[in-house]
Structure 1
Amino acid sequence: MNPLILIPARMAATRLPGKPLADIGGLPMIVRASRQARASGLAAAVAAGDAEIVEAVEADGGRAVLTDPDLPSGSDRIRAALQALDPEGLHDVIVNLQGDMPFADPGISALCIDLLARHPECDIATLVAPESGPDDRSNPDVVKAVLAMAPEGTEGRALYFTRSTLYGDGHVWRHVGLYGYRRAALEAFCAAPPSPLERREKLEQLRAMEMGLRIHAAVIADAPLSIDNPGDLAEARLRAGRG
């Protein structure tokens, strides 16, 4: 396998405009995310929707490519960056690492790559973590993954993703928004229109499932901090200050 990590980022975030360049302990958020990706030892680049993001990443020694700011999703953005960076098709696995997870462990991408390597039938790999508390079960902002778990309990095949409340006994798995795509799966996914379930739940991964693409998920101990609102940003700044 020849993986490539791509980090989509754009300035026009709805809930936190200018998020990629938000200062966290003296560094822009996207620079922290780029550094974590590069620390994995894998090829990595930022798929940027704005020139300011490219400038910030390149000033730190990272790699970035400017994409159309009007692309509808992060998946479309990484596909555009991939076409620009690798038109020869040398990279056969693409990891979509979110730019708003500035403290993600550098080894996190390898878990998705390993799933794809061990499961030839898997088209897309992702991650889940245990719920952080009982409120997660009814919180629509927490995306839940329904999995057919393997006997060892460390990974499973995804059956569904939902924002709805999950009832009954057993684990509730928080979905971690990181994906490893086989290149053909990424191309097929981006070429397809939004699906009915995707529009209903506002979850892109359901388009892949309605297309018949197979998703597997590995279990990690804790979900990385994802910065979606001012409160998350404040927490990130406290964490950077403690570091």
Structure 2
Amino acid sequence: MENKCVVVIPSRFGSVRLPGKPLADIHGQPMVQRVYERALKSGVAEVIIATDDERIFQVCKKFGAHVELTDKAHQSGTDRISELATRLNWPDDKIIINVQGDEPFLPPGLISQVQTLLENDLKAAMATLVTPINTMDEWEDSNTVKVVTDCNDQALYFSRAPIPWPRDNNEVNGLRHIGIYGYRAWALKKLALSPSCPLEKIERLEQLRALWLGLPIRVATACIVPPKGVDTIEDLEAISQKSLKSFDVS
């Protein structure tokens, strides 16, 4: 029987906040290798790195990854993955898990959780995960993406701003979006054929294009709270100061 799930890791060199981020050293390995090896531990049959940079491509080949070169013109990881969906002729019902390249210690169990969400909710075009926000610093940090959902656990909106805003008190009651998505291939192809929407351009959040198009995104609380991803040099330094065992969760 054909495998219906694949993990793709978009990886680009030109990060604004941390240039060359995929090749940043984390305890003796480039970040992209850490992400790749975590994804393999999820048990999926296929993990692919999609990059637009020859330097990243060569490093990935060196550690034995399946890596594909993609167009430099892509503005988001979703666009990069959609190129693969077309090039590799993936069927419409195939599930694609997009693991962000700046999540070097993402628990592999979260990949399985996203896959299960889509397998169990046939109406969902996409699926993703969240964790509660517990501190004001995280709540106000624009690098922390927040999401609000409806009564059916479908996403209403994603933002870098603190949402929902507590007008009458200072209580933090938000959800942090984790950098992992699941798509059905047909939804991914629809996103690729649609131009960036105004909200996506304002917030710099690619998932807003899906909401703009009316694609339902299923949201669930992560079964394991993952470590913070790497957005800045400070994040990279913080991870480097911790032992590898402290990130050893499944």
TM-score by length of 2: 0.88
Greater Cα offset, 209-218 or 49-58: 49-58
Equivalent-residue separation in structure 2 for 1:118 and 1:31 (angstroms): 31
Which residue, out of 135, 155, 169, partners 1:133? Answer: 135
Which residue, out of 32, 50, 53, partners 1:50? Answer: 53
The 8 Å contact of residues 135 and 172 in structure 2, kept in 1 or not, is answered as no
1:149: Cα distance to partner? 4.7
Paired AA for residue 175 in structure 1 = H
1:118: Cα distance to partner? 1.2
Q: Structure 2: any 5+ residue segments left out of the alignment?
A: none
Partner-residue secondary structure (3-state), 2:150: strand
Task: Show the counterpart of 1:196.
Answer: 198
Which residue, out of 2, 12, 19, partners 2:4? Answer: 2
1:138: Cα distance to partner? 2.8
Task: Show the counterpart of 1:67.
Answer: 70
Which residue, out of 133, 143, 160, partners 1:163? Answer: 160
Paired AA for residue 237 in structure 1 = S
1:167: Cα distance to partner? 2.6
1:193: Cα distance to partner? 0.8
Paired AA for residue 230 in structure 1 = I
1:199: Cα distance to partner? 2.3
Give runs of aligned pairs for residues 83-232 of structure 1, distance below 5 A: 83-84=86-87, 86-87=88-89, 89=91, 92-149=94-151, 156-165=153-162, 166-168=164-166, 171-220=173-222, 221-232=224-235
1:135: Cα distance to partner? 2.6
The 8 Å contact of residues 6 and 95 in structure 2, kept in 1 or not, is answered as yes
The 8 Å contact of residues 114 and 128 in structure 2, kept in 1 or not, is answered as yes
The 8 Å contact of residues 66 and 81 in structure 1, kept in 2 or not, is answered as no
CA RMSD after TM alignment: 2.0
Q: 1:59 to 1:163 in 2, by over 3 A?
A: same
Q: 1:120 to 1:90 in 2, by over 3 A?
A: closer
The 8 Å contact of residues 136 and 172 in structure 2, kept in 1 or not, is answered as no
Greater Cα offset, 174-183 or 137-146: 137-146
Greater Cα offset, 212-221 or 158-167: 158-167
1:140: Cα distance to partner? 2.5
Q: Structure 1: any 5+ residue segments left out of the alignment?
A: 151-155
Paired AA for residue 159 in structure 1 = L
Q: 1:132 to 1:234 in 2, by over 3 A?
A: farther
1:217: Cα distance to partner? 1.0
Equivalent-residue separation in structure 2 for 1:49 and 1:91 (angstroms): 26
Q: 1:38 to 1:164 in 2, by over 3 A?
A: same
**Could you give the per-residue CA deviations for residues 45-84 of structure 1, whole angstroms, max 9, x where no partner exists?**
1001112212222222221111122322111111123333
The share of aligned pairs that are identical, in percent, is: 36
Equivalent-residue separation in structure 1 for 2:128 and 2:245 (angstroms): 29
Q: How many residues align?
A: 237
The 8 Å contact of residues 52 and 69 in structure 2, kept in 1 or not, is answered as yes
Which residue, out of 64, 78, 82, partners 1:79? Answer: 82
Equivalent-residue separation in structure 2 for 1:103 and 1:222 (angstroms): 11
TM-score by length of 1: 0.90
